Structure 1
Amino acid sequence: PSGCGKTTTLRMIAGLELTTSGEIRLDQEEVTFLPASQRDIAFVFQLFALYPHMNVRKNLAFPLKCIGTPSAEVKQRVEEAARLLRIDHLLNRSVSGLSGGDRQRVALGRAIIRRPKAFLMDEPLGALDAEFRNLMCQELKGLHDRIEATTVYVTHDQLEAMAMADRIAVMNHGMIEQLGTPSEIYNKPATIYVADFIGSPPMNLLTLPNALEPGKTEINLPDDGCGTLRCPNSAQGIQAGNLVLGVRPEYLLPEQEGPLPGKISAVEYLGTTQILTIQTPYGQVLSRVLSTYSFGKGQSVRLNFVSQRASLFDKSDGKALSTEVTYG
């Protein structure tokens, strides 16, 4: 989210901010105190950073000319980058007359043409409208796969991160809450913060009245039929009111014999799916179901959850417990 330290971290990697502790390594080489100009990193910004008085060709060539690259090589690399980004037909156009998407392609080309060890991208799609953003998201993913260069990409858009990343670092107040693949982040959140932040809509988080006694590994869920949660042996135990059950909306489903009663307070139609807002004795929850099913506001339902997809957290430190759910 905003203010968590994403851009500051990126600037430290680039050498634009001094680190207060730790070290930064690039290609197995420590670069913590190396000047930015010597780190061989390309930085792509949200606001393009192009020269409006130059055409596309001159903008692409500028980084190479600054380091004295021979003219023949400059021409070759400009044309290669333009073909890669599908802007070869725009080389003689002024950048001031380009669309937002094409300007961002030129900005990417200025970074690619240097052939750096790594790319840093600070919300490069933030200034584009939704249609261009989705298109550029796909193009950036394909570009990364083709050039196979390490890329650190900053975004506050979780859907963008989930769609593009090989690994995601979820940050909060300057700390990494969880580092993992999109699947790990979504299905096995390490903290309550990650569970609540990742996912649209977010994970349902229900505080259980139970306590986990020291040395015990089983927690009986409040309603008959909900089953038993099995978790690791806790030497200290967990106090009542600190146990939080997490279930994604698509795994909390209305069923005739479900153990959890509720009443629908809102229905949000999303095309192929619909989001049901349901009031239960343990608080409000969201359920994502196919739009082929008919539900209405005020309708009473009973809910069940997919046991293998449930998470359990300790509210005192916000961390997840490894759980296995069995029905009793």
Structure 2
Amino acid sequence: MAEIRVENLNKSFGEFTAVRDESFTVPDASFFCLLGPSGCGKTTTLRMIAGLELPTAGRILLGGEDVAFKRASARDIAFVFQLFALYPHMNVRRNIGFPLLCQGVAAAEIKARVEETAKLLRIDQLLDKPVSGLAGGDRQRVALGRAIVRRPLAFLMDEPLGTLDTEFRDLMCAELRGLHERIKATTVYVTHDQLEAMSMADRIAIMNKGRIEQLGSPQEIYDRPATIFVADFVGSPAMNLIEVGGGLAKGARILALADAIIAIPELREDAPAEDLVLGARPEHIRFDDASSYRGEVFGSEYLGTLQIVTVKVPQGRLKVKLPASQVVRSGEQVGLNFLADRLSLFDKDSGRALRSALHDVR
């Protein structure tokens, strides 16, 4: 396996720029996710790494070698597509072994490597079955097997679980992560599903409009979003975003919100913007009768041990996570208390975080 390094990568289609000045590193044997909404440039980035698209500018280094303008066949990279791309007239054994057959590998070695790969993927009992009769999860394992059997430098996966139903998708997330731990493959995985990315990735690049908005571990991105877009995109429910007026001086520890004063993390820089946005995760808000920041309960959703309560406040609606055992009634007037050291503060115009969960974002 090998490290992948992308430096100042750009891709334009005529006047439209799909990828803008991208730079990131995928360490050897790590699981890296490109996460973002449709049209953000993540698949275009993956296709450039694979050699299926040529960059307009920038470098792509695979194991230290610049491969940006090499053919896909010369990059020793395996690509797993969303729609499996299996050969329906072949059985599982022949599908998995086909890349080796094309490379002229001896029949005995093909047989050994196919059986080894099938055992790794727990589909060895299916080797002589036609792929047309397999369930979606098993077909995806065959597609993975065809990539693994080549023993490439890196694996690229473009939303490989997108066509599976929820049950199979959850199962395959666990299977993919377990497979990664067993074979230690350098993997770049594209998805628009934050749950897939958060459950599998070592590091995530959040993309929006062709740019990387934030790069970090799943925990870093969730706890310390670098922009309003990331705060709104990651999390279920998303971070509550409350518009507040007036600037704040360096070292400020309080913020006026409606008729209430709430505590916030200490600012390390001035926030002179007139329009600021306060961010609070639903689990970082509590009901507190003593609080002067008030709202009215609009409704609640029960999720087993938790409930998500929607509260109408002067600035809109907030989502609050509470224990399911806590009694909440629609129309009830409640006080809200924020966990100060878990809040984020953003500049509305730039979208940049000024202060985020005990950590500066610069």
Alignment TM class, shorter chain as reference = over 0.9
CA 1:100/1:226 → structure 2, altered by over 3 Å: closer, same or farther? same
Letter in 1 for 2:90: M
Equivalent pairs counted in the alignment come to: 320
Pairwise mapping of residues 113-262 of structure 1 onto structure 2 (< 5 A)?
A: 113-212=149-248, 216-218=250-252, 220-222=254-256, 223-234=259-270, 237-240=271-274, 242-262=275-295
Matched residues in 2 for 1:91 and 1:154: separation?
A: 28
Aligned to 2:318: 285
C-alpha distance 53-264 of structure 1, shift in aligned 2 (>3 A): same
Higher relative contact order (CA 8 A, sep 6+): 2
Post-superposition CA distance 1:67-125 (Å, at most 9, x none):
01111111110000000000000000000010111000000000000001110000100
**Deviation per CA, 1:271-310, whole angstroms, max 9, x where unpaired?**
1111111011232111011101110111111111111111
Verify: 1:272 aligned to 2:272, yes or no: no
Match for residue 314 of structure 1? 347
Q: Residue 120 of structure 1 aligns to which amino acid in structure 2?
A: L
Distance 1:136 1:239 in 2: 46
Stretches of structure 2 lacking an aligned partner (at least 5 in a row): 1-36
Contact preservation (8 Å) 1:226, 1:259? no
Following the alignment from structure 1 to structure 2, what is the Cα–Cα distance between the partners of residues 101 and 68? 29
Q: Normalization by structure 1: what TM-score?
A: 0.94
- Does the 8 A contact of 2:312 with 2:318 survive in 1? yes
Question: Are 1:56 and 2:92 matched, yes or no?
Answer: yes
Cα pair 2:237 2:282 within 8 Å, conserved: yes
What TM-score do you get using the length of structure 2 for normalisation?
A: 0.86
Cα separation, partners in 2 of 1:106 and 1:188, compared to 1, 3 Å: same
Q: CA deviation at 1:225?
A: 4.8
8 Å contact kept, 1:12–1:18: yes
Cα deviation, residue 217, structure 1:
3.3
Structure 1 counterpart of 2:219, which letter?
S
CA RMSD of aligned residues (A): 1.4
- Which amino acid in 1 is paired with 2:303? L
Q: d(CA) in 2 for partners of 1:324 and 1:52?
A: 51
Deviation above 2 Å: which 4+ runs of structure 1? 227-230, 322-325
* Aligned residues of 1:231 and 1:323 also touching (Cα < 8 A): no
Identify the residue that residue 100 of structure 1 maps to in structure 2: 136
Change (3 A) 1:228 1:80: closer
CA distance in structure 1 between the partners assigned to 2:88 and 2:310 by the alignment: 50
User: Is 1:20 matched with 2:90?
Assistant: no
Q: Distance in 2 between matches of 1:155 and 1:131?
A: 17
Against the structure 1 CA distance between its residues 324 and 47, is the aligned structure 2 distance closer, same or farther, given a 3 Å change threshold? closer
Counterpart secondary structure, 2:145: helix
Shift of 1:224: 4.5
Task: Write the letter of the residue equivalent to 1:164.
Answer: M
- Structure 1 residue runs of 5 or longer lacking an equivalent are none
**Separation in 2, partners of 1:231, 1:244:** 14
